[in-house]
Amino acid sequence: MDKFIIRGGKKLSGEVSVSGAKNASLALMPAALLASGVSKLNNTPQLNDVYTMMKLLKELGVKPKFENDILELDTKNITSQVAPYEHVKKMRASVYVLGPLTSRFGYAKVSLPGGCAWGPRPINLHLEALKKMGAEIDLVEGYIIAKSKRLQGAKINFDVSSVGATGNTLMAASLAKGTTVINNAAMEPEISNLAEFLIKMGAKIEGAGTSTLSIEGVDELNAAGINTIADRIEAGTLLIAAAMTNGEITLKGISDFLISSILAKLEDSGCKIEINSSNISLKSSGNFIKPINVTTSIFPGFPTDMQAQWTAYMSVADGVSYVTDTIYLDRFKHVPELVRLGADIRVNENTAVIKGVNKLKGAKVMSTDLRASASLVLAGLAAEGTTEVLRVYHLDRGYQRIEEKLKSLGADIERAAGAEY
């Protein structure tokens, strides 16, 4: 298993491009199943979750061709509607094939995802929506089996705003008979990107980006092309890397709309932000980092996927801050590892109470999940001495060669293969 060796304390500076959004790609790729033909997904990031989804789609008969950042998916010969445990257990987003398969083929057999590094992360809302649209859902030997004649439009009121359930329902409803209305729909930009793709495929969708989606089902969809939006979490992670190392960087290829809540908090902490069309520059606040509280919430609020990174940032702030996660109440596995680097953090229910310290100190730390490992890399960049971040396969799931991007900005970071951990 690879690890990162980071010799901290280097100021980051320079320009870097933001890759396509992992969580957009993971929805766009299964959406291609709704049509027969070759769909073209531009700006697809080269990261492990995308490769996992590609393997799963291949298993269903899709022929992928991935060159540079253009992913073509040929769905002319779908031979299976089964998403096996081997794939789904690796990545919960595999459940995104459920909606399209049920809607286009009237049958899907998808493994239940099972446990996760934090949780619980149920999929009840995905299933309830499909049931409301007329699917018969059974649970057999750890698999969800969905059967239906043509799905029927329905009124879906989600109790909780869910990215995955909205995406799955949106895809299913696009080929259903009649109109589906989704209330309390997720407003995340990755869902708007999915809606944009479906519309290009011929779907009739109104309200993308708002909490009410109205979908008039069509008989058939066609393969299409789409530009994947920029990854707002990669962008936020890189900005914090600069903020924590007294640095100054420019991100290329991301609209401030995607990260306005992160930019606002960075400004509050003392950073200077400049926005120039699709370039965003950050100059760190220097040696004084103002402690700033955050509470995660749905878009456009502060994302849970940036909670661990913000916690790392605040661990070197000049005072006490509180970081509360309202989306995932126990997503704090990074905290004991940050403490190994000298951070002073206590978790009280779903709030991390962070007393900023003067300096973090290098140590060996263990990644437990994707965003936790990102927070450890950030802490390592700011720490004195050498930090080893073990098990970076978690990080590789969701960041496209982050060590190369960080190196290009002046970080002293290397990947070492074959570590014993």
Binding site for ligand EPU (CB under 6 A): 23, 26, 92-93, 121-126, 160, 162-165, 186, 190, 304-305, 327-328, 370-371, 398
**How far apart are CB 308 and ligand EPU at their closest, in Å?**
9
* C-alpha triplet 128, 130, 135: angle, nearest 5°: 115
Q: Could you tell me if 132 and 154 are in contact, meaning their C-beta atoms sit under 8 angstroms apart? A: yes
| DSSP secondary structure letters along 292-318 | --EEB-STTSB-GGGHHHHHHHHTTSS
Q: How far apart are CA 171 and CA 195, in angstroms?
A: 8
Least separation, in Å, of the C-beta of 296 and ligand EPU?
A: 8
Write down the least CB distance from residue 15 to ligand EPU, Å.
25
CA 245 to CA 283: how far, in whole Å? 10
Distances (CA, A) of 330 to 119, 120, 312, 339, 389: 7, 9, 16, 17, 22
**Which two structure tokens, joined as six digits, stand for 305?**
């996927």
Is residue 271 within 8 Å of 263, Cβ to Cβ? no
Distance CA 94, CA 56 (A): 8
Which residue, 124, 121, 94, is CA-closest to 109? Answer: 94
Q: What is the largest CA-CA distance in the chain?
A: 63
155-157 sheet: strands from edge to edge: 155-157, 179-183, 212-216, 204-206
The string over 22-41, giving b where at least 16 C-beta atoms fall within 10 Å of a residue's C-beta and e elsewhere, is bbbbbbbbbbbbbbbebbbb
Nearer CB in complex with ligand EPU: 130/289:
130
Q: How far is the CB of 395 from ligand EPU (least distance, A)?
A: 11
Catalytic machinery residues: 116
How far apart are the C-alpha atoms of 21 and 130, rounded to whole Å? 26
Write down the least CB distance from residue 374 to ligand EPU, Å. Answer: 9
User: At closest approach, how far in Å is the CB of 357 from ligand EPU?
Assistant: 26
d(CA 149, CA 134): 8
And the tokens for 247?
């640095």
Pairing of strands 204-206, 272-276: unpaired
Q: How many other CB atoms are there within 10 angstroms of residue 139's CB atom?
A: 10
Question: In the complex, which residue's CB is closest to ligand EPU?
Answer: 164
> Considering the complex, what minimum distance in angstroms separates the CB of residue 266 from ligand EPU?
19
Beta bridge mates, 323: 294, 352
